[in-house]
Amino acid sequence: MSEYLPTTPYRGTRDFLPPEMSVRTQVFGHLYDVLERYGYQRYDGPVLESAEIYEKKSGQEIADQQLYTLTDRGGRRLALRPEMTPTVARIIAGNAGSLQFPVRWYSHPNCHRYERPQRGRVREHWQINADIFGSESANCEIEMFELIHDLMRGVGASEDMFVVRANDRNLLASALTDLVGVTGEQLPQVFGLVDRWEKYDRETLAGHAEQIGLGDKQFDRLGDVLGAGTALLDELPAAVKDSSNLVHMLATDAADLVRFDPMIVRGLAYYTSTVFEVFDTSPENNRALFGGGRYSDLAGMFTPRQIPGIGFGMGDVTLMDFLATHGLTPQPRSEVDVVVIPVAEELAGAARQVATELRGAGLRTSTPIELRKLGKELGRADKAGARAVVIVGQEDWAAGNVTVRSLATREQQVVPLSGAASALAELLN
């Protein structure tokens, strides 16, 4: 047995080296910019929460199969957060008296689920969450869908690369009970069947339907309902449609932001009406990227005050797969813009002084930690991605000058220290 511990991370988690972090920082920076242009404010919360809030509201799959739980020394059952929505509901409920509703909040938490690692699924992920709390208006749905389109454009996607598919659980419940003959007791199981509809073949689905208690005619009718598209709305009671924000939205000029799809149901237990998922349209990555929906009273776990909400969570794994599929992944940024190289150890202080000036001018600047020969330092600077170097020589420095050199063209010029930043800015531009 080796005396050394393994260098690989725990299965389903990932290490991010600087080039990968550079890509992620660029992508998430674009998303933050879009969210904040819409007026969303960033918040955060603890990675540890009471296990009860997930067992009560996140759905059976997360609570029974995916939750990382522990008991602390005080005997309290805790869980690593698998998602952020119950946490934000708790925060909203706890601070409702000081908030001006509706509020627009976003976060970027680290979440943990005991998944079977595969493409698009890991055990630790980061997720952009955006929520509106305190309004039941259909304008919330419209804003959510506009925001999603702008977020996707923010990372370089064109409209033909993705589609937003939306449904209303109340509309689906009406269709299942009124048109298919599903009983109230069967409804949760049939919702689960609908959620798996595109993942299995017809024979497997029919077997699941039989286990639920649906007859052959009901199963055939269920397939007709799920494939009906917007035509399904003509078969539903007017009262059900009148209470649906999604139906109202589909009657506005925002209708082209989504595609009505009866097969969208979402697996999380707290969604109550509007639900939606964003899909990649590429056949190479034909899958859901992220989704969300409306929850009428998730904050009701913590307060008697009813605070409706709507939101979505955009996971980093599927987003990065999407960018790679469409050739949209940005290139990692270089380590630095400029390296300041002293030609001798006794000029190290002078080099730090120059570097301080350049950093003050907004240039990413480094100096050698262990000085080598000038040729080797130029090679290291080139490998670090620097586009220019500043060479601090003894005679130049004594005269108050430095040498500015382009690594691309190898052209160089001697300039006063006070003019180094502007000379580099011109060179780099």
In the annotated binding site for L-histidine, the residues are: 83-85, 113, 127, 131, 266, 270-271
Residues of the binding site: 83-85, 113, 127, 131, 266, 270-271
Structural contact between residues 285 and 321, judged by C-beta atoms closer than 8 angstroms? yes
Cis before 102? omega within 30: yes
Structural tokens at position 125 = 């992920």
CA 396 to chain centre: 51
Angstrom CA distances, 96 to 30, 91, 131, 286, 303, stand at 30, 8, 15, 41, 9
Residue 295: phi and psi, rounded to 5, are: -125, 115
Count of residues in the chain: 429
Structural contact between residues 274 and 171, judged by C-beta atoms closer than 8 angstroms? no
Structural tokens at position 132 = 């509106």
Residue type, 4: Y
Q: Which residues pair with 167 in a beta bridge?
A: 275
Strands 401-406 and 388-392: antiparallel
CA 142 to chain centre: 20
Strands 48-50 and 274-280: unpaired
Q: Where are the alpha helices (DSSP H) in 95-183?
A: 138-154, 169-175
Distance CA 407, CA 349 (A): 23
Angstrom CA distances, 290 to 128, 314, 324, 329, 335, stand at 10, 5, 16, 18, 32
